[in-house]
């Protein structure tokens, strides 16, 4: 145990160590998000065809499709090995997370993604109305560049702390890839 600027005897890990420990989770989250973005874009473009619905309906459906892909990618990939229901002592096979828990996690995941989706248009609003930057370039930079960063951070933090955490309602055990065989 290394001690540092915390209370005496407390474990301290420099930021580089914490980032290296977080790297696999960040990578998995990024990969799942990339597939989700591709699904969102593909659904939106497909729905906006000649006989498709209005843009709001198309974007709503494509957003749900993207959220579903992101949730599946994070549940199956990024957070799969971290926390899962502990098998009962008599079980000889893997135990799936109960359906009510999966539904609640998906609902919370949707709420976190909606919050992230609201952050992105807020940034051009601040840029345009509070800072007075009303050019197309400023809108693009604030909406796509600046808005994406806090929205992604919000989604990552919410996903790891609110969605895929131990909720106390089911027993959990820590497992690693090596334990899975």
Please give the model's pTM, rounded to 2 decimal places. Answer: 0.72
| Contact by Cβ (8 Å): 48, 55 | yes
- Assign 69 to helix, strand or coil: helix
The beta-strand segments (E) located in the chain are 83-85, 172-174
pLDDT in tens, 50-92: 878 888 898 899 999 999 999 999 999 998 876 555 455 555 5
Annotated domain spans of the chain: 13-82, 94-171
């Amino acid at each position: 145990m290394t001690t540092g600027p915390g209370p005496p005897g407390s474990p301290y890990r420099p930021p580089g160590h914490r980032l290296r420990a977080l790297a696999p989770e960040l990578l998995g989250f990024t990969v799942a998000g990339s597939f989700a973005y591709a699904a969102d874009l593909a659904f939106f473009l497909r729905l906006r065809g000649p006989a498709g619905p209005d843009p709001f309906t198309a974007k709503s459906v494509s957003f749900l499709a993207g959220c579903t892909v992101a949730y599946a990618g994070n549940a199956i990939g990024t957070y799969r090995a971290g926390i899962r229901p502990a098998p009962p002592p008599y079980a000889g096979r893997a135990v799936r997370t109960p359906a009510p828990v999966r539904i609640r996690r998906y609902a919370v995941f949707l709420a976190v993604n909606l919050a992230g989706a609201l952050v992105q248009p807020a940034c051009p609003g601040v840029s345009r109305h509070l800072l007075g930057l009303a050019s197309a370039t400023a809108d693009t930079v604030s909406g796509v560049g600046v808005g994406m960063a806090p929205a992604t951070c919000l989604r990552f933090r919410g996903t790891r702390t609110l969605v895929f955490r131990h909720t106390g309602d089911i027993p959990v055990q820590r497992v690693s890839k090596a334990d899975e065989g």
